[in-house]
């Protein structure tokens, strides 16, 4: 399916000079959203994923339905203070400074096969931090899946050791 035709480009959002790729226009069309999740689910099945992990917030919109389609669990990765049990935390660099992500320490079992997912791969910082969290708990990252990849930002350089599925490239 040509998913690109369902993505709206919004110039100068969130700041001047940025061409924001809005996935909500794709999510609004149920058959297209389902097709995208089904395609990612096939990729995850081939990787024998046992659990799906996704960072907040748009990673939940992809990861939750993907886990449901596979009949496996979904593990959220969140900002500090958002998860109620004991967490593992990782700091990572963003465009404008440091940020942190957290995961419940008991959410991934050692040796468990994990597919990480998000709506968009840009510079790769968020997904790289997510992978570090999974690995810190003993999980085995079997791949990564995204709706969109912004090739010019070269996020794949941080994912060179993993199989990556991107449904749309810009």
Of 95, 100, 113, 157, the active-site residue reads 95
167: which residues sit within 8 A by CB, 6+ positions away?
3, 36, 39, 40, 146, 147, 148
77: which residues sit within 8 A by CB, 6+ positions away?
53, 54, 55, 56, 59, 101, 102, 103, 129, 130, 133
- Per the annotation, the verdict on 28 as an active-site residue is no
- Per the annotation, the verdict on 95 as an active-site residue is yes
Of 8, 50, 56, 58, the active-site residue reads 58
Residue where the block lists tokens 């109620």: 84
Question: Mind telling me the catalytic residues?
Answer: 58, 95
């Amino acid at each position: 399916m040509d998913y690109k035709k369902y993505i709206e480009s919004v110039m100068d959002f969130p700041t001047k000079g940025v061409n924001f790729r809005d996935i909500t226009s794709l999510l609004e069309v149920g058959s297209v959203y389902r097709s995208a999740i089904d395609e990612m689910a096939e990729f995850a099945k081939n990787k024998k994923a046992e659990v799906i992990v996704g960072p907040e917030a748009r990673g939940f919109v992809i990861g939750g339905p993907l886990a449901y389609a596979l009949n496996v669990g979904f593990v959220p990765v969140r900002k500090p203070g958002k998860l109620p049990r004991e967490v593992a935390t990782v700091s990572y660099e963003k465009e404008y400074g440091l940020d942190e992500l957290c995961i419940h320490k008991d959410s991934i079992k050692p040796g468990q096969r994990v597919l990480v997912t998000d709506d968009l791969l840009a510079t790769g910082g968020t997904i790289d931090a997510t992978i570090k969290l999974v690995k810190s708990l003993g999980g085995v990252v079997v791949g990564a899946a995204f709706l969109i990849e912004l090739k010019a930002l070269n996020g794949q350089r941080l994912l060179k050791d993993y199989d990556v599925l991107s449904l749309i490239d810009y």
